[in-house]
């Protein structure tokens, strides 16, 4: 049920490795089974941030509960800064806590 959506203007060379590492990170930070973690990656996007098109990244993390942005912002930002070679000040993260009745899997909602 956690969905991590990564958008960047960088070209990612080893997408599968980044996806696997990202899934493990989110599973660990949210204490949720990796069986329910979905990662979406879109790279090589035209993006413009802070007046230029230098490497940047927009990350969305949606989950049913377990989101404590003040505790997980730093490890997420540091992870993607290192993995994508993007300065931390060029990474935005958006958190969204989803009501369990608004998220479905296998034909049924979670709440």
What is the pTM (predicted TM-score) of this model? Answer: 0.94
User: What local confidence, expressed as pLDDT, does residue 53 receive?
Assistant: 97
Delimit the domains of the chain by residue range.
3-109
Q: Residues 25-47: what's their mean pLDDT?
A: 97
User: What local confidence, expressed as pLDDT, does residue 65 receive?
Assistant: 85
SS3 sequence, the chain? CCEEEEEECCCCCCHHHHHHHHHHHHHHHHCCCHHHCEEEEECCCCCCECCECCCCEEEEEEECCCCCHHHHHHHHHHHHHHHHCCCHHHEEEEEEECCHHHCEECCEECC
User: What local confidence, expressed as pLDDT, does residue 1 receive?
Assistant: 83
- Mean pLDDT over each residue of the chain, to the nearest integer: 96
List pLDDT tens digits, range 64-103.
988 999 999 999 999 999 999 999 999 999 999 999 999 9
CATH of domain 3-109: 3.30.429.10
Q: Alpha-carbon distance 23 to 17, whole Å?
A: 10
Q: Alpha-carbon distance 23 to 36, whole Å?
A: 10
User: What local confidence, expressed as pLDDT, does residue 101 receive?
Assistant: 94
Asked if residue 94 lies in contact with residue 60, where contact means CB atoms within 8 angstroms, the answer is: yes
User: What local confidence, expressed as pLDDT, does residue 111 receive?
Assistant: 86
Asked if residue 84 lies in contact with residue 57, where contact means CB atoms within 8 angstroms, the answer is: yes
């Amino acid at each position: 049920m956690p969905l991590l959506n990564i958008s960047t203007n960088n070209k990612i060379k080893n997408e599968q490795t980044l996806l696997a590492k990202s899934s493990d990170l989110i599973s660990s930070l949210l204490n949720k089974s990796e069986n329910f973690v979905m990662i979406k990656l879109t790279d090589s996007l035209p993006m413009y941030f802070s007046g230029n098109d230098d490497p940047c990244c927009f990350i969305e993390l949606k989950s049913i509960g377990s989101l404590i942005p003040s505790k997980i912002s730093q490890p997420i930002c540091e992870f993607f800064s290192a993995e994508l070679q993007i300065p931390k000040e060029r990474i935005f993260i958006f958190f969204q806590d989803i009501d369990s009745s608004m998220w479905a899997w296998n034909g049924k909602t979670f709440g």
